[in-house]
């Protein structure tokens, strides 16, 4: 049972009889065609508990998609702009981001997961049973069935979204492939279930009881409960909520669910080499995606072994991106899509001016009076705390189809995915790591680059800035297992592979003695080109204590060829110097964190120990800062 406390006295022996109480003849016919008996029971149970007034089952037709758009406008969850296919959604001032504190993995009694927010399963299910009781009374309940990946792919998963929010279903329609037909054709589909209600809404349509906001992930039931919230990160099931379920499923079955982009880089002879990449927020993930030659995905990846080769699919076909700062100079392709009148776009928590223009920080016009995430807005408006209220929120977002990208890779719908030749990990590190490093081996890279991924806390996060925070594989917020188990999964995954990807680490945020960044934004293309050549063994490298770094002469050639600019020797020396004291401190921080994780594999500590000894030996010979020209090139 999905709601054990709420349905003890309710009879669900005949699910269609229960569903018929709220379904029209047409909707009942759509449901009755579904051969999955477990799914019918799930829908019936939700009807009994949440008590909706009606039900709508999404078949994926254009008529159904248009119906959802109309319902989102009619319910005032979305507001029209002066561009017909551009709508605006506001979450309300208390519901503008993922709720980390109330997002919990449900676990058995006495169980805990290192570095992961958990709650006893029986207690969590009892709580949501009460919160969902009658929560959809008087409302329409939407049922959306989706494919989490290309249709017909052995790598894909399946998800069912049940919600009283047309905005949530509209978002799913843009971000994922409709799966109604797949469910019709296969009575035994295993699926993730996402149950959501915005809860009671105030006069502006915002979730009213945000203090009772709950997002509970039930691994045992392969389901997620989300209530009293509208923000997409808390509600759109197949986004980061599904990632947590996929991580757990991947652990059980031996494959990887990653918070990674999938990009292609072209090389000599027209070849395309595919990379996946994990970056915490604000560390260049989107910028790297957009500078690549082709894009398969910008955010998520499922990677499985197929005949000894790692193959990756993007489970999505849309982008839910941060819009703050997007401008025509730095982000020409994304900006062009966002102002395209033909594109279907949901803008979230931006400014909607009185004359219907969508405005965000980065748009090269001045903001004017209108509506935003806090209500009515005008230039100079201040809040109760005396601070000026920004016209658009720093976490304002856009939801749009990825198929609008000019660089979209034609293999995005390939059921066998794309072959992965390299993993890239990147963080914000002002004082330690060079711009690009290649691991000595898969094991070395997974431990010292993936499991040890750190990023500097910025002013956007509460607390002291400049502190380095561990974010293993850039997925810590979305893990349903311990980082130690996730690391072990990666180490074992390679044992099945004939072609093992190379592992790289990038750092776009290294600062020089004057405090400025050493690399320019456009330099990313050079680091990507270097990695592409390294995968094919076409360039040499210098062994350092932390991995292979580029030869100066190779970078000179790449900078000249791809950016038409000089690369001074003194800049190379500063960028690729070994900052040994900082490197040792990093290893100590990482080791200390994993000592608190009982699942951390012994191999992790061995590899960290070997790296520590290499760095310590270099420091004993040359000091705290070692020029790359002092390293042995052999």
Question: Domain containing 386 — which CATH number?
Answer: 2.170.8.10
Residue 561 belongs to a domain with what CATH number? Answer: 3.90.228.20
Residue 281 has pLDDT above 90, yes or no: no
Decide which of 232, 254, 276 is a domain's last residue.
Answer: 254
- Same-domain pairing of 338 and 271: no
Percent of the chain with pLDDT over 70: 97
- Same-domain pairing of 331 and 392: yes
The residue-averaged pLDDT of 371-379 equals 94
Residue 11 has pLDDT above 80, yes or no: no
The helix/strand/coil state of 421 is strand
Residue 165 has pLDDT above 80, yes or no: yes
- Same-domain pairing of 536 and 615: yes
Q: State the pLDDT at residue 203.
A: 86
Residue 356 has pLDDT above 60, yes or no: yes
Q: How far apart are CA 502 and CA 538, in angstroms?
A: 14
Q: Give the pLDDT confidence of 448-477 residue by residue, as tens digits.
A: 999 999 998 754 444 455 678 999 999 999
DSSP β-bridge partners for residue 304: 311
Residue 139 belongs to a domain with what CATH number? Answer: 3.40.449.10
The residue-averaged pLDDT of 152-161 equals 97
The residue-averaged pLDDT of 99-113 equals 93
Q: Give the pLDDT confidence of 528-575 residue by residue, as tens digits.
A: 999 999 999 999 999 999 999 999 999 999 999 999 999 999 999 999
Q: Annotated catalytic, 556?
A: no
- Same-domain pairing of 551 and 623: yes
Q: Is 544 exposed, middle or buried (0-12, 13-18, 19+ CB in 10 A)?
A: buried
Q: How far apart are CA 362 and CA 328, in angstroms?
A: 8
| Residue 163 in domain | yes
pTM of the model: 0.95
The helix/strand/coil state of 200 is coil
Q: Which two tokens stand for residue 478?
A: 């979305």
The residue-averaged pLDDT of 303-308 equals 97
| 169 in Cβ contact with 68 (< 8 Å) | yes
- Same-domain pairing of 389 and 422: no
Residues in the chain: 634
| Residue 270 in domain | yes
The residue-averaged pLDDT of 566-590 equals 97
The helix/strand/coil state of 513 is coil
- Same-domain pairing of 367 and 332: yes
Q: Is 282 exposed, middle or buried (0-12, 13-18, 19+ CB in 10 A)?
A: middle
| Residue 9 in domain | no
CA distances 229 to 162, 165, 271, 392, 554, Å, are 14, 10, 46, 20, 52
Residue 23 has pLDDT above 60, yes or no: yes
The residue-averaged pLDDT of 401-414 equals 97
- Same-domain pairing of 537 and 602: yes
Decide which of 356, 378, 403 is a domain's last residue.
Answer: 403
- CB count, 10 Å around CB of 271? 11
| Residue 362 in domain | yes
| Residue 118 in domain | yes
Residues 6+ apart with CB under 8 A from 106: 118, 119, 120, 121, 124, 125, 216, 217, 218, 219, 220
The residue-averaged pLDDT of 593-616 equals 98
| Residue 87 in domain | no
Question: 């991580």: which residue's tokens?
Answer: 247
Average pLDDT, the chain: 95
The residue-averaged pLDDT of 338-365 equals 97
Domain count, the chain: 3
- Same-domain pairing of 201 and 147: yes
| Residue 4 in domain | no
Q: State the pLDDT at residue 461.
A: 44
Decide which of 340, 370, 403 is a domain's last residue.
Answer: 403
- With vertex at residue 145, the alpha carbon angle to CA 322 and CA 26, rounded to the nearest 5 degrees, is 125
Selected catalytic residue, list 68, 283, 326, 626: 283
Question: 């990653």: which residue's tokens?
Answer: 258
| Residue 542 in domain | yes
Q: State the pLDDT at residue 458.
A: 56
| 77 in Cβ contact with 167 (< 8 Å) | yes
Q: State the pLDDT at residue 466.
A: 66
| Enclosing domain of residue 389 | 319-403
Beta strands across the sheet bearing 375-377: 358-359, 351-353, 370-372, 375-377
Selection from 505, 488, 495 nearest residue 597 by Cα: 488
- Same-domain pairing of 463 and 521: yes
- Same-domain pairing of 165 and 45: yes
Residues 6+ apart with CB under 8 A from 537: none
The helix/strand/coil state of 118 is strand
CA distances 589 to 168, 180, 469, 604, 608, Å, are 40, 48, 9, 14, 11
- Same-domain pairing of 386 and 428: no
Q: Give the pLDDT confidence of 80-101 residue by residue, as tens digits.
A: 999 999 999 999 888 888 888 9
Q: How far apart are CA 548 and CA 486, in angstroms?
A: 25
Compute the half-sphere exposure of residue 431: CA atoms within 13 Å on the CB side of its CA: 15
| 339 in Cβ contact with 360 (< 8 Å) | no
Q: How far apart are CA 623 and CA 602, in angstroms?
A: 30
- With vertex at residue 230, the alpha carbon angle to CA 226 and CA 232, rounded to the nearest 5 degrees, is 85
Residue 634 has pLDDT above 70, yes or no: no
Q: State the pLDDT at residue 462.
A: 43
The residue-averaged pLDDT of 4-19 equals 73
Q: How far apart are CA 368 and CA 408, in angstroms?
A: 35
Q: How far apart are CA 530 and CA 506, in angstroms?
A: 11
The residue-averaged pLDDT of 142-157 equals 97
- Same-domain pairing of 302 and 333: no
């Amino acid at each position: 049972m999905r709601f054990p406390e709420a349905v003890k006295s309710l009879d669900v022996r005949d699910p269609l009889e229960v569903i018929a109480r709220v379904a029209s003849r047409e909707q009942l016919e759509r449901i009755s065609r579904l051969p999955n008996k477990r799914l019918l029971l799930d829908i019936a149970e939700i009807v009994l508990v949440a008590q909706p007034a009606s039900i709508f089952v999404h078949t994926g037709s254009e008529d159904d998609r248009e119906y959802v758009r109309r319902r989102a406008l009619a319910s005032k969850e979305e507001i029209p702009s002066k561009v017909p296919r551009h709508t605006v959604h506001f979450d309300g001032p208390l519901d503008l981001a993922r709720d980390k504190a109330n997002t919990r993995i449900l676990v058995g009694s006495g169980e805990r997961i290192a570095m992961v927010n958990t709650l006893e399963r029986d207690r969590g299910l009892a709580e949501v049973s009460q919160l969902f009781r009658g929560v959809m009374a008087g409302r329409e309940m939407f049922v959306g069935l989706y494919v989490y990946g290309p249709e017909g792919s052995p790598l894909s998963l399946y998800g069912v979204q049940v919600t009283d929010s047309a905005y949530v279903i509209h978002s799913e329609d843009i971000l994922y492939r409709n799966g109604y037909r797949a469910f019709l054709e296969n009575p035994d589909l295993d699926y993730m279930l996402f149950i959501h209600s915005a809860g009671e809404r105030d006069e502006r349509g915002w979730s009213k009881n945000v203090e009772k906001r709950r997002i509970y992930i039930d691994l045992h039931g392969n389901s997620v409960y989300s209530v009293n919230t509208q923000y997409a990160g808390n509600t759109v099931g197949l986004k980061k909520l599904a990632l947590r379920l996929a991580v757990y499923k991947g652990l059980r079955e031996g494959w990887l669910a990653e918070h990674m982009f999938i990009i292609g880089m072209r090389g000599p002879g027209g070849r395309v080499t595919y990379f996946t990449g994990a970056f915490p927020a604000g560390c260049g993930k989107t910028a790297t995606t957009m500078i690549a030659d082709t894009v398969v995905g910008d955010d998520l990846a499922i990677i499985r072994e197929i005949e000894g080769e790692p193959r990756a699919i993007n489970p999505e076909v849309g982008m839910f991106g941060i819009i703050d700062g997007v401008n025509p100079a730095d982000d020409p392709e994304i900006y062009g899509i966002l102002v395209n009148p033909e594109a279907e776009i949901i803008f979230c928590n931006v400014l909607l001016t009185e004359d219907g223009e969508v405005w965000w920080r980065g748009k090269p016009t001045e903001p004017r009076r209108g509506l935003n995430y806090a209500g009515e807005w005008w230039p100079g408006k201040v809040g109760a705390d005396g601070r000026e209220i920004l016209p658009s929120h720093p976490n304002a977002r856009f939801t749009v189809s990825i198929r609008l990208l000019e660089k979209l890779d034609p293999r995005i719908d390939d059921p066998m995915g794309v072959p992965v030749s390299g993993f890239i990990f990147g963080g914000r590190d002002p004082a330690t790591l060079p711009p690009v490093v290649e691991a000595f081996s898969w094991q070395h890279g997974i431990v010292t680059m993936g499991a040890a991924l750190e990023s500097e806390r910025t002013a956007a996060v509460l607390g002291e800035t400049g502190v380095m925070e561990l974010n293993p594989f850039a997925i810590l917020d979305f893990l349903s297992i311990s980082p130690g188990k996730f690391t072990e999964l990666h180490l074992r995954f390679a044992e099945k592979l004939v072609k093992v990807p190379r592992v790289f680490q990038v750092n776009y945020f290294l600062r020089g003695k004057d405090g400025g960044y050493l690399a320019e934004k456009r330099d990313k293309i050079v680091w990507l080109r270097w990695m592409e050549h390294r995968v094919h063994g076409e360039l040499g490298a210098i062994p350092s204590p932390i991995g292979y770094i580029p030869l100066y002469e190779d970078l000179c050639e790449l900078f000249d060829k791809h950016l038409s600019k000089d690369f001074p020797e003194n800049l190379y020396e500063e960028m690729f110097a070994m900052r040994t004291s900082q490197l040792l401190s990093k290893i100590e921080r990482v080791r200390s964190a994993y000592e608190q994780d009982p699942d951390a594999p012994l191999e992790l500590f061995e590899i960290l120990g070997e790296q520590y000894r290499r760095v310590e030996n270099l420091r004993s010979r040359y000091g705290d800062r070692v020029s790359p020209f002092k390293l042995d090139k052999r």
